[in-house]
Amino acid sequence: MLILLLLVIPLLGVFWFVTLISILKNLKKGQDVHNQTFIGAVITFAFLFILMFSIVGLY
């Protein structure tokens, strides 16, 4: 459980930030952002699922 809190959640946060920056750069260039949007949705789902799982595991 400690690995989830100290390693997995911050890594997902970093991937989420990198995906957001990639989306913003592609929007500025006028390119398609479909792939980055899908990846961002998957990362958000994983982040929230692991966060909820770790909170439930603490109690």
Return the H-helix or E-strand segment holding 32. none
Range of the domain at 11: 2-58
- The identity of residue 57, as a single letter, is G
Q: What is the pTM of this model?
A: 0.80
Sequence-distant (≥ 6) Cβ neighbours of residue 46 within 8 angstroms: 12
pLDDT, tens only, 19-49: 999 999 999 999 999 999 999 999 999 999 9
Sequence-distant (≥ 6) Cβ neighbours of residue 44 within 8 angstroms: 16
Domains identified in the chain, total number: 1
- Both tokens assigned to 38: 């899908």
Residue among 46, 44, 45 at smallest CA distance from 16: 44
